[in-house]
Amino acid sequence: MKRLLFFPFLFLNFACSQSDVKFPEKKEVLTSEFSGFENFFPLATIDVSDKGIKDKIHIIFVSFNYNGKENDENFPKNESMGNFTFKIQENGLYKPTFSKNALKIDKSYEKYFIENKKMYLKAKSENKNVFEFIEKFDEPQWWQADETPINSKGEKFKFICQFEMYNIFNDDCGVFVFYDETDKEVKYIHQYD
């Protein structure tokens, strides 16, 4: 069976603050040049000021055209569909570091993309509690080797949360979310069991 590659779906397992938002609109989380793409499914915007972070963290599911290659020319060096970054703009919106070409869906992947979209729309229409399943540890509970990202000054990113995509997408993938104030970036790392 073809392995489906799904990207960040977050269910938060902690008390929500009043400023947390379920299923924010794309224009509220992405820059205008990316908010029109159907590949982005905004799941939540969370307030992590309890960790000393002033920026809101937008959790976005990204559906890529999985072609069996982890790295390609559409991602910056050392990034891939399973390890990608959003730059936080001055207005708080996210801009991916990968190119728009990474979002192209071809015929061979179209049915999986449609499944992703259906799952997202179903969860959104049911107003699913996306704040239910996050695991908020002090440190990531890696499924494989430690992949804590490092910023431009050689410092570790701050760990935000982790979650298992099986809760919605039936994909056995752990997602680890990190934030860096210096470079104003949010990074998603995916590991398989």
- Residue 77 gets which letter from DSSP? T
| Dihedral sign (CA 45, 48, 53, 59) | negative
Query: Does residue 21 register a pLDDT over 50?
Result: yes
From residue 77, alpha-carbon distances to 19, 73, 74, 80, 84 in Å are 35, 8, 9, 8, 10
- Res 150: pLDDT: 95
pLDDT digits (tens, 9 = 90+) for 165-188: 766 666 678 889 999 999 999 999
Query: Does residue 90 register a pLDDT over 50?
Result: yes
CA distance 162 to 136: 7
E-assigned strands of the chain?
A: 21-22, 40-46, 57-62, 83-88, 94-96, 158-164, 173-180, 185-192
Query: Does residue 11 register a pLDDT over 60?
Result: no
CA distance 167 to 33: 30
Q: Which residue matches tokens 């752990």? A: 174
Grade residue 192 by pLDDT with cuts at 50, 70 and 90: confident
pTM, whole model, 2 decimals?
Answer: 0.85
User: What is the pLDDT averaged over residues 84-100?
Assistant: 96
Helices (H), 70-173: 107-125, 166-169
- Res 151: pLDDT: 95
**Average of per-residue pLDDT values in the chain:** 84
Q: What are phi and psi of 16, to 5 degrees?
A: -80, 145
